[in-house]
Amino acid sequence: MEVFYDLIALGDLFIDPERNYKKIANLAMLTQSISNYESFISETDVREAWFFLSSVIEKYDSYHENGKGVQMMTIHAAKGLEFPVTIITSLKKDSFPMINKDPERKEDRIWPDDTYYTPNECLEYKTILKEENGELVHKTISIEEENRLNEEEKDRVLYVAMTRAADLLILSTVGETPEQIERVRKHTSKFDFNALKDVTIEEHYGNQDSDKLVMNYSKYTQYLSCPFKYDLGYNLGFVRTGQKYANRGTVFHEIMETVNLKLKENQEISIPELTDIVHDAYKSMFDIEESPEDYEEFKDNVINYYETYSKHMKVLEAELDFEIDMGDYIFNGAIDLIYQVGENEIVILDYKYAQYDDEHIDAYTKQLHLYAAALNELPEFSEYNVKKAVTYFVLGDYQHVVDITDEKNNKELECLNKVAKKIKQCTKFPKRFNSCKNCSYRMFCSI
């Protein structure tokens, strides 16, 4: 990604960005493909990334400003996204998901659709990580185990596809139903077009038929940092560099949502059970065998947080989505954790998979005040008071505690109102602020 941004910096598009807006928007679309390549293939192989872009670029449409419509994409491209309605098409036994064509290795050849394959004569040199007594150890892999990895990968990919649906998942089969779909059949029902009436698109994207702006904490702080960077990131879709820890943060959030919802129901979680939760979530995003040290560090961070804090909390809600109508705009977000500390006192907690740093703490404090203000608007929490809020920095195991008052909440809401008004009034490529030191776009921003 950084090489691509360096190449953009050699051009002259940003000398007159308004004139070149559509060309710049097309470059932004390419950054999304590069980001996918880095996530699934390699962060360092520039040559192969170039061949990858060359092979897919003809499939791209040019930029257009109206973003409404049905999005068609591969499962890998949809990873990390969520849609009110998700349709998975062409499911067919032995075809999608693809069956292993030679499980006994009689032909000893590579099939294009095999996720894992090692020539028979090399199997004795290949190992697999297995967990024994709480530790990962290397064991020689067998043909059966490699076939199992292949099947698990196909199940994992299908799981990723199915979990993109927020309200309605539609599974469309061709011919005989795949085994993976048969396993979940009892949780499905025959498709009825009337089911679409129960899906409210506005709950996910705001009111698409109005001109209301949808604001969240990230947009707010991005605009405060630099309106130009806001336009590049949110209006055009340029992907920032350095997403490695952000991805681990996503996995950490998923794990803690699972854990906290169990705690909400007063369920006990053993360390072996927690380890399984961590392992399954982590391997859905990362290759554990590629970097077992990173996995061990991540697992230790989760277990440390759970042992030190989580299991002692009275959880009221986890990953609480909210949407507040502010008049001229919609303010939405998700509160990581709400737990009770007194008869009618609750605390908001937000996870950051990062080290504590003074540079960003003001922005994180703003987030807590805005979330506290939003919580006060929700009727299900009207009987509770929010006096404290916490930002938990996973790396370093540090809690930053903030005192919550109505005065501070209202001050932050007033600032949010002003920013929303500026965004609505702003034209393409607003003014830039001199805050470039750690900006992902600094290579081609000619401030």
Cis status of the peptide bond prior to 379, with omega within 30 of 0 = no
**Residue that is last in its domain, among 187, 207, 227:** 207
Is 395 part of any domain?
yes
Is 141 part of any domain?
yes
Is residue 48 domain-shared with residue 78, that is, in the same domain? no
Q: What is the pLDDT of residue 108?
A: 57
pLDDT digits (tens, 9 = 90+) for 373-419: 999 999 999 999 999 999 999 999 999 999 999 999 999 999 999 99
398 vs 46: which has the higher pLDDT: 398
**Residue that is last in its domain, among 207, 234, 253:** 207
Is 436 part of any domain?
no
Q: With pLDDT > 70 as the criterion, what percentage of the chain qualifies?
A: 85
Is residue 131 domain-shared with residue 18, that is, in the same domain? no
Is residue 142 domain-shared with residue 259, that is, in the same domain? no
Is residue 152 domain-shared with residue 253, that is, in the same domain? no
Is residue 252 domain-shared with residue 382, that is, in the same domain? yes
Is residue 117 domain-shared with residue 57, that is, in the same domain? no
- Residue numbers of the domain that contains 402: 244-425
Is 63 part of any domain?
yes
Q: What is the pLDDT of residue 116?
A: 54
CATH code (residue 333): 3.90.320.10
Is 358 part of any domain?
yes
Is residue 354 domain-shared with residue 266, that is, in the same domain? yes
Q: Is the pLDDT of residue 210 over 70?
A: no
Is residue 45 domain-shared with residue 82, that is, in the same domain? no
In the chain, how many domains are there? 3
Is 36 part of any domain?
yes
Is residue 101 domain-shared with residue 35, that is, in the same domain? no
Is 228 part of any domain?
no
- Which tokens in the block code for residue 254? 């998923």
pLDDT digits (tens, 9 = 90+) for 223-261: 888 888 888 888 888 887 655 545 788 899 999 999 999
Is residue 64 domain-shared with residue 122, that is, in the same domain? no
For range 117-134, the mean pLDDT: 74
Is 357 part of any domain?
yes
pLDDT digits (tens, 9 = 90+) for 321-363: 999 999 989 999 999 999 999 889 999 999 999 999 898 899 9
**Residue that is last in its domain, among 46, 68, 90:** 68
Distance CA 395, CA 298 (A): 9
Q: Which pTM was predicted? A: 0.64
Q: What is the mean pLDDT of the chain?
A: 83
Q: What is the pLDDT of residue 394?
A: 96
Is residue 250 domain-shared with residue 367, that is, in the same domain? yes
Is residue 268 domain-shared with residue 186, that is, in the same domain? no
- Supply angle C-alpha 428, 434, 437, rounded to 5: 115
